[in-house]
Amino acid sequence: MSRIQCRNARNSDLVDLFNSVFTASEGADEGATIAQFVDRMLERTDAHDLRIFASWDRSDLVGAALFSRLTYSEDSRSVMILSPMAVSTPRQGEGIGQSLIRHALEDLAREGVDVVLTYGDPNFYGKLGFASLSMTQARAPMPLSYPDGWIGQSISQAPFEPLKGACVCVPALNDPALW
């Protein structure tokens, strides 16, 4: 039985999880790219701009999701982006990822976050309330190689309204190779 906790995971454990999951699904180059990204995110992102959610089975890290701040130049709402997320390869299909995201969205809403975006599989994230977004609804911080993967949702009581202004992400995400 896994459980979701916001306890600290060692950076090396998080990097190892992302490396192994993305290597298994996308190959060694992608695993290394995502591992380097996660390492940069953990080392260089201000704690106010980063939230880490992790799922554990006893002492084994089986899933993790990183949320970092996005800022829209003409919008006062609090916006976070889910990137990246991983569930240990042998544990995929058990609902760990969906539980992890549901828990994270509830926590972020309690903390006053208004909108959560991500850049991923609309079929998976659609089960969790994410919907496709156009660039007029929410600009991405970088050009997207897969525009259909730009998705989001309001997690406040208010319905989703377009985000206004240019979008700026945390420095670790400011890499065109990730988009």
CA gap 59, 146 in Å, rounded: 36
* Band of pLDDT at residue 3, cut at 50, 70 and 90: low
Pinpoint the alpha helices (H) of the chain: 11-26, 28-44, 96-110, 122-126
Average pLDDT, rounded, for the chain: 93
pLDDT in tens, 134-178: 999 999 999 999 989 999 999 998 999 999 999 999 999 999 989
28-44 vs 11-26: helix crossing angle, rounded to 10: 150
Residue among 148, 155, 173, 138 at smallest CA distance from 68: 173
CA gap 145, 176 in Å, rounded: 9
Q: DSSP character for 15?
A: H
- pLDDT for 4: 55
pLDDT in tens, 18-38: 999 999 999 999 999 999 999
Tokens matching residue 7? 């306890």
**Quick check: 1 pLDDT over 90?**
no
Q: What is the CATH number of the domain that holds 142?
A: 3.40.630.30
- pLDDT for 10: 79
Query: Would you call the peptide bond into 84 cis, given omega within 30 degrees of 0 as the criterion?
Result: yes
- Per-residue pLDDT averaged across 74-95, rounded? 97
* Band of pLDDT at residue 55, cut at 50, 70 and 90: very high
Tally of domains within the chain: 1
Q: What is the extent of the structural domain holding 99?
A: 3-178
- 3-state DSSP call for residue 20? helix
pTM reported for the whole predicted model:
0.93
- Per-residue pLDDT averaged across 31-56, rounded? 95
- Per-residue pLDDT averaged across 40-64, rounded? 93
Tokens matching residue 4? 């979701």
CA gap 51, 92 in Å, rounded: 22
